[in-house]
Copies of this chain bind each other. A is one copy, B any other.
């Protein structure tokens, strides 16, 4: 099976137990890579958190780089999903609300995934450049076209679609990527049910008010 990132040497698991180990390794690796990046994590650390010896981990993933790539790849689909879902046939206000909400939901249900990609960006996105220029760029092109069509039909205020898209991404990712800052200031974060609900409402309303001709709140 080919992958979006590159041809990948599959991990070496051949039994149930082996697959469970691979899953534990990937979980541990996600946690650590999202925090410290590829270079800031040691194989020993990952192995310890995954509850096995270093050689055992390296039995499943030949190199640290292969492990990193596997982690990135496993998150990629989930990460791209909410970026794709701008429904051009729905009315703008519903579509945008859904778009924002699903991105915010990703920040909540997969904060480490969100941070992993933020980490990649900070490092210059060496493993993602290609995906960004192909898959993501065309996704964005489609979303931009949808937004521009709405503007042309007078359903949205004139706005540069790219900046709107970036602003929505940024505002929603922020709750995962800058969680310590938010918790230091608010005393709680996106994991808190009430806080999530509040963020969902406020961010959606803010952007809708920002772009809709007839403010819908």
A174 to B207, CA, bound (A): 16
Which chain B residue has the least Cβ–Cβ distance from A174? B170
Q: Indicate if the CB atoms of B209 and A157 lie closer than 8 Å.
A: yes
**Distance between Cα atoms of A178 and B177 in the complex (Å):** 12
Is A167's CB within 8 Å of the partner chain B? yes
CB distance from A210 to the nearest CB of B (A): 3
Could you tell me which residues of chain A, from 154 to 187, have a CB within 8 Å of some CB in chain B?
157, 159-160, 162-164, 166-167, 169-171, 173-175, 177-182, 184-186
A137 contacts the other chain (CB 8 A): yes
Task: State A157–B209 Cα separation when bound (angstroms).
Answer: 9
Tell me the complex Cα distance, A35–B137, Å.
24
A118 within 8 A of B: yes
What is the oligomeric copy number? Answer: 2
Restricting to A198-217, which residues have a CB under 8 Å from any CB of B?
Answer: 198-199, 202-203, 205-207, 209-211, 215, 217
The reply on A108 being an interface residue by CB < 8 A is: no
Report the separation of the CA atoms of residues A147 and B39 in the bound assembly, to the nearest whole angstrom.
42
What 1/0 flags go to A1-25 for Cβ under 8 Å of B?
A: 0000000000000000000000000
**Is the pair A178, B170 in contact by a Cβ cutoff of 8 Å?**
yes
Please tell me if the beta carbons of B34 and A137 are within 8 angstroms of each other in the complex: no
Chain B residues with CB under 8 Å of A34's CB are 122
Are B174 and A125 in contact, with the CB atoms below 8 A?
no
